[in-house]
Amino acid sequence: MFASIPSAIVVGAQGHPVRVEAHVGQGLPGFSIGGRPDDSVREARDRTRAAILSSQLPYPKVKITVNLAPSGDRKTGAGLDLAIAVGILAASEVVPIEALDRLAFIGELGLDGSVRAVPGVAPMVGALGDVDVVVPIGSGPEARVAALGRVRLIATLGELVAVLNGLMPWPDHVVDAPPAELVQCADLADVHGQPMARHALEIAAAGGHHMLMVGPPGSGKTMLASRLPGILPPLDREQALAATMVSSAAGVPLPPGGLVTTPPFRAPHHTASGAALIGGGSGAVRPGEVSLAHGGTLFLDEIAEFAPKVLDGLRQPLEDRHITVSRSGVHVVLPADFVLIAAMNPCPCGGGAPGECLCNASQLHRYVRRLSGPLLDRFDLRVNVHRPGIDELLAVVPAESSAAIGERVAVARTLAVDRQGCLNRALSGPQLDEFAPLSDASRAVLRHELEQGRLSARGYHRIRRVARSIADVRSAGDEVIDVESVHVALGLRSAFTKVLPMGQAA
Ligand SMILES: [Zn+2]
């Protein structure tokens, strides 16, 4: 007898439908799986056999042949277990084939017959189209986000077989909400002082500008960066779906409703590998941090400590807002549109108060040079962050809240998108002339900076993009960039000018 069961696998953050064909018939007892299974899928033989026997169901003592179609994709992961077991049971007439009409199955089997959650259920379900899907209980919320048909939750293989044989209705399992570890983003009201860094953060959020913070340990760089999600607007429907697919594929815990709606915040350690940051890895292609940060923030603390080769991998996603990962002939495209916030110490020894630094000029130079010019060029905002002064620390008046700042950010973002169809970060030179024209006074100020050699051609464009965002936040988008916005933009430049060669400095 033969049965063909719809299921799916995940490649990158995309689901691919798979048909599990099972044949049970004449021949010496045995179990073979074809159709490019990897080791994790081959192990399904042992898991399905144990699960069927543990569920007090008959296991066929004849030859079992399973084929995974189409044969093009390499099949990875344990998510095909349930479909393989159902296929064997249908082919050996333990469940009626008619009962499987318009049903698809996703889930890993425990040796005790339990059905367990697997990563990537959201994209897998999304790839299956208009069918009813049977998934593990824990995968219910993310399956519902992506499903076109009904979602059936199942706890064990035995329960599923009873339902398919008409011995009981579909069970009504309730999904336990995962622990609410989903970070309540800390509020900017707790950050005392730091007026310039706070303002830079607001501008970064408003224009989507990538930002580099330079400051000694203890100056609050991490504290500031981690508060960026609290002032970014919630994800729109498209971003939310993309972020959910990525998180699901990577096995990152999803919010109780299954849909990622708050901008993610990812802060990989500087020892992160290229695969961890960019995506890939051995075996299946896993989304990297750049994709997990999609729609939100990627924070690289101690950016000068990351391996230069790893940082080099950031260039494609920063340019294209997606990343292509290639692995054994398979090209996977993953979303990677994020605001990059980076932090570094002013020098290798950490700097600190004036006079504390022990580094000589060449050490300093080498340190800053660890960031390649092209990467440094991506940071529209480069700000110095100082340790807060005593008066700032002791201030009793709370600083402005994230909610208040977030309102201005949302208005500025809408303004930019309505005006030019993109955030200010993405404005090219000609677009700047069209959408961010300078007032005469602004032009005179920038001309003076250029003539004095304090501004490079690239820096000139950066300043104009930032000034556009400053104007959008301040005055509801006056057409022309006023001189005050230009002065503020110039003031947000980093003291890197001292160390960097001309052209890389602000
Ligand atoms: Zn130093």
Using CA atoms, how far apart are residues 115 and 136, in angstroms rounded to an integer?
6
Using CA atoms, how far apart are residues 22 and 62, in angstroms rounded to an integer?
13
- Tell whether the model's pLDDT for residue 485 goes beyond 60: yes
- Tell whether the model's pLDDT for residue 504 goes beyond 50: no
CA of 174 to the centre of ligand 1 (A): 57
φ/ψ of residue 469, rounded to 5: -70, -40
266: amino acid identity, one letter:
R
CA of 302 to the centre of ligand 1 (A): 14
The residue-averaged pLDDT of 398-420 equals 92
The radius of gyration computed from the CA coordinates of the chain, to the nearest angstrom, equals: 28
CA of 494 to the centre of ligand 1 (A): 17
CA of 350 to the centre of ligand 1 (A): 5
CA of 357 to the centre of ligand 1 (A): 4
pLDDT at 181: 52
CA of 305 to the centre of ligand 1 (A): 15
Quick one: which H or E segment has residue 3? strand 2-11
CA of 499 to the centre of ligand 1 (A): 13
- Tell whether the model's pLDDT for residue 499 goes beyond 70: no
CA of 442 to the centre of ligand 1 (A): 36
Using CA atoms, how far apart are residues 167 and 314, in angstroms rounded to an integer?
55
CA of 306 to the centre of ligand 1 (A): 18
pLDDT at 501: 43
Inter-residue contact 326 to 278 (CB < 8 Å): no
CA of 500 to the centre of ligand 1 (A): 16
CA of 351 to the centre of ligand 1 (A): 4
Using CA atoms, how far apart are residues 501 and 369, in angstroms rounded to an integer?
10
Percent of the chain with pLDDT over 70: 94
Inter-residue contact 19 to 123 (CB < 8 Å): no
CA of 359 to the centre of ligand 1 (A): 4
CA of 388 to the centre of ligand 1 (A): 19
Give the residue among 198, 201, 206, 264 at the shortest CA–CA distance from 425: 206
CA of 20 to the centre of ligand 1 (A): 62
CA of 212 to the centre of ligand 1 (A): 18
Contacts of 309 (CB under 8 A, 6+ apart): 274
pLDDT at 201: 95
Task: Give the confidence band of 184 by pLDDT, cuts at 50, 70, 90.
Answer: low
Beta bridge partners of 3: 22
The residue-averaged pLDDT of 156-183 equals 84
DSSP state of 101: T
CA of 313 to the centre of ligand 1 (A): 28
CA of 361 to the centre of ligand 1 (A): 9
Which residue is associated with the tokens 């695969």? 275
CA of 348 to the centre of ligand 1 (A): 5
The residue-averaged pLDDT of 153-171 equals 96
pLDDT digits (tens, 9 = 90+) for 362-397: 887 888 788 877 888 889 898 888 887 777 777 777
The residue-averaged pLDDT of 7-22 equals 94
pLDDT digits (tens, 9 = 90+) for 274-318: 889 998 877 778 899 999 999 999 999 999 899 989 999 999 999
Using CA atoms, how far apart are residues 438 and 482, in angstroms rounded to an integer?
7
CA of 367 to the centre of ligand 1 (A): 10
What is the bridge-based pairing of β-strands 151-154 and 14-25? Answer: unpaired
Q: Lowest-pLDDT range, 80-89, 204-213, 355-364? A: 355-364
Give the residue among 292, 260, 238 at the shortest CA–CA distance from 12: 292
- Tell whether the model's pLDDT for residue 78 goes beyond 50: yes
CA of 200 to the centre of ligand 1 (A): 25
CA of 385 to the centre of ligand 1 (A): 15
Task: Give the confidence band of 182 by pLDDT, cuts at 50, 70, 90.
Answer: low
pLDDT at 466: 95
CA of 496 to the centre of ligand 1 (A): 14
Task: Give the confidence band of 76 by pLDDT, cuts at 50, 70, 90.
Answer: confident
CA of 268 to the centre of ligand 1 (A): 25
What is the bridge-based pairing of β-strands 108-109 and 63-69? Answer: unpaired
The residue-averaged pLDDT of 407-428 equals 93
CA of 363 to the centre of ligand 1 (A): 8
CA of 345 to the centre of ligand 1 (A): 9
The residue-averaged pLDDT of 29-43 equals 90
CA of 389 to the centre of ligand 1 (A): 21
The residue-averaged pLDDT of 454-481 equals 86
CA of 273 to the centre of ligand 1 (A): 27
pLDDT digits (tens, 9 = 90+) for 109-124: 999 999 999 999 999 9
Kindly give the interhelix angle for 157-164 and 81-91, rounded to the nearest 10 degrees. 40
CA of 352 to the centre of ligand 1 (A): 8
Work out the mean pLDDT of the chain and round it to a whole number. Answer: 89
pLDDT at 503: 39
The residue-averaged pLDDT of 412-441 equals 92
Give the residue among 121, 119, 113, 96 at the shortest CA–CA distance from 155: 113
CA of 358 to the centre of ligand 1 (A): 5
Using CA atoms, how far apart are residues 317 and 427, in angstroms rounded to an integer?
17
pLDDT digits (tens, 9 = 90+) for 248-281: 999 998 888 889 999 999 999 999 998 899 988 7
Kindly give the interhelix angle for 483-491 and 440-451, rounded to the nearest 10 degrees. 30
CA of 356 to the centre of ligand 1 (A): 7
CA of 349 to the centre of ligand 1 (A): 4
The residue-averaged pLDDT of 319-337 equals 87
- Tell whether the model's pLDDT for residue 493 goes beyond 90: no
The residue-averaged pLDDT of 467-471 equals 94
- Tell whether the model's pLDDT for residue 446 goes beyond 60: yes
